Structure 1
Amino acid sequence: MSDFSFAMLPGIEPEEMMWLQELTKGYNSENKQRFLALYQSRRKDPQVILICSLIGLIGTAGVQRFLLGQIGMGILYFVTLGFCAIGTIIDAINHRKLTWEYNKKEALTSAALLGL
């Protein structure tokens, strides 16, 4: 399995791809494939987070926070209408950073679950 397998992930940034390659550099081909399958099922696409943030401007605020596993912030956004839309706009601007932080945590969790 080549390192180009990470390039097939939707919306992957070069920084994330390099980080994943570094994380899995000691893995054999089978372990890398198992890691990729688990990580791909847990990973969030930055475009989905952006779309959910934009939906929060005209509909239910906080959906992006629920998707990122931040239940408390999601409830707070919902109750305050996305901090009067300012928090939702900030999330839409920072959607890549929010997604990268979530995906990085999920990559480490995936590696730990596989015992790698």
Structure 2
Amino acid sequence: MNSANPNPLLYLPDMQPEELNYIQSITRDLTPQQLEQFVYLYRTKRKDNQTILIVALAGFAGFAGIHRLILGQIGMGILYFLTLGFCGIGTIVDLLNSRSMTNEYNQRQAFESLRMVQMSFR
């Protein structure tokens, strides 16, 4: 990554505007080297909205809860699997909320990546 251009959007082209705004706000005080490490870490941890939506759709084919497992919600993922997505109602709700669920997960991962970068440069 070229540290002369510290715009994370160039290295994460599938970011949504609200995710980009959050990333820019938390990385504004990072040095180019720290930003490079942050982008590398975050890129490996973040999830794509479309992927989560497609996996949530698989809930109707008997694979309910996989999207919750991917987002780190192990208990809910198992519960969805055992109840077939709360008889499909929970899966429908999650389809409607998939973008916000993914954004929340990505914000947690961005914050965790930021902390890891800050700790490594102390």
> TM-score, normalised on structure 1?
0.93
Deviation, structure 1 residue 28: 1.1
Are residues 93 and 101 of structure 1, via their aligned partners in 2, closer, same or farther at CA, if it must alter by over 3 Å?
same
Gaps of 5+ in 2: none
Q: How does 1:1-116 map to 2 (within 5 A)?
A: 1=3, 2-9=5-12, 11-115=14-118
Are residues 4 and 115 of structure 1, via their aligned partners in 2, closer, same or farther at CA, if it must alter by over 3 Å?
closer
8 Å CA contact retained: 1:3, 1:21: no
8 Å CA contact retained: 1:61, 1:78: yes
Count of aligned pairs: 116
| Sequence identity percentage | 45
8 Å CA contact retained: 1:82, 1:88: yes
Deviation string, structure 1 residues 41-79 (Cα, Å, up to 9, x no partner): 000001110000001111210000000000000000001
Task: Write the letter of the residue equivalent to 1:110.
Answer: S
> TM-score, normalised on structure 2?
0.88
8 Å CA contact retained: 2:60, 2:88: yes
Deviation, structure 1 residue 115: 2.1
Please identify the structure whose Cα radius of gyration is greater: 2
